[in-house]
Amino acid sequence: MSELIALIERNQDLLGETAHSLENGGFQVKSAPDFECGLQLFIDNSFDLAIIDTETGLMGGLGFLQSWVEEAPEDHTPVIFLMSDAVGKAELDEIISQSHFKSRVIETLFKPIEPDRLTSFISTYFESKRFVPPKKSKVMAVDDSPILCTMYQCLFEKHEFLYEIVSDSTKAETIAQYFKPDLILMDASMPDIDGFTLTKNITSSKELASARVIMVTADSRKSVILQSLINGAVDILNKPFDEEILLAKMKSHLDKKRVYDELSGAYQRVKATNERLSALAATDSLTGLYNHGRLHEYLIKEISKAKRHDRSLALVMLDVDHFKRFNDKYGHRCGDEALRTLAVVLQGALRDGDVPARYGGEEFCIILPETDLEGGALVAEKIRNVVENTLVSADCCDETLTVSLGVAQWKNGCSAIKLIDSADKAMYVSKNSGRNQVTKA
């Protein structure tokens, strides 16, 4: 529901233009050309804001407001005064400060004022009044002034923030680390550690990098503003400050923080999804080992490293003996279980840095970095022995398997395809020589 505004202005042209601008801005407007009609408006309606011309004589608008206060003391409609004489501003302020309605007057503006600029000012005012911080917004104030700490506490409780108030600058970083605030109001000048250093330390922390810091300072020099921004502050608030301006700044930066967190969360979810998809694309779905394609990519990289650093590299090819007979006897479900068991055996028998992969069907391949031919043969023999003594346990069978293995060593000038082919030929020598054995290329 749009706000209802009372507009009392003797200048008919300005009255019409201003009312039109406010209505275009989304507000409801009820207007009156004089104070007698204006008083009736207040009797008949409940307004969210009143815009009152003071007339040439100061007591016109003030007299009207005083009459309304006496008529309806329970009404607290905020008021904006419009006046033509800037010279009388000090006198007007003095009268208002001593009146019973001083808390109602939020601003005095001078004519001529563009209706659109007035509408913009009022829109900003209502935006700050509408501000309801997110229920879980966490704010922190760091200030050595007991008066400001008390003011912050009242403000935070009034607007239902989760909050921490720190008067000792030496404890601010520790408290920020466990509290993890969304926004920090940081006093620039404090004993022990100043606000600039604290801001730099806090915003440099990985856990608090997205926290928004508003630097609060009585020093409006350019050097102070630049130092604040360079050290990680997103905004400056000069003392003494207005509560509505503070809330408007807090709203703006909390909104930005919320959007940042949402985008960051979405990015992390997309990244995790891409990583899972990448892993799936590189992984054999049955055994969880690298698949044929990823094996070739990894082997090419390892060959490049071996060549660059003049290191050894061995490759083992492995084939399950009589696997077709096993499948025919126990079925493909048990065959799948046998391959999964073999993958587990390989992962358990290998060293850190060794890379097993399913080459295809019942064939497996193992990359052995920094390993020569003899070392590769020892690893292959260890695998052969462990497989031979491992029971494939499933509800359909309890049986052991054997494997035939071939080992080849990379030599300078040998490609990945040639290395695989060399190990594969050695493996077939093992199979043709009685199976369950290791052959070196």
> Which residues form the catalytic set?
362
Rounded CA separation 78/27 (Å): 15
Structure tokens at 376: 């590769």
Rounded CA separation 439/408 (Å): 9
Structure tokens at 437: 């054995």
Secondary structure E strands in 54-111 = 79-83, 105-110
268: left (phi over 0), alpha (psi -120 to 50) or beta: alpha
Rounded CA separation 125/54 (Å): 21
Q: What angle do CA 380, 381, 386 make, to 5 degrees?
A: 100
Four-point Cα dihedral 377, 379, 380, 385, nearest 10? 120
Going from the C-alpha of 303 to that of each of 294, 414, 416, 417, the distances in angstroms are 14, 9, 7, 11
Nearest to 57 by CA among 21, 100, 120, 10: 10
Q: Which residue has the tokens 């009388």?
A: 88
Q: Which long-range contacts (CB under 8 A, 24 or more apart) does 331-335 make?
A: 331/396, 333/394, 333/396, 334/392, 334/394, 334/396, 334/397
Structure tokens at 23: 């209505």
Task: Decide if 161 contacts 141 (C-beta within 8 A).
Answer: no
First to last CA, the chain: 84
Rounded CA separation 23/16 (Å): 11
Give the three-state DSSP class for 52.
Answer: strand
Q: What angle do CA 244, 182, 185 make, to 5 degrees?
A: 50
Rounded CA separation 147/362 (Å): 77
To which H or E segment does residue 147 belong? helix 146-158
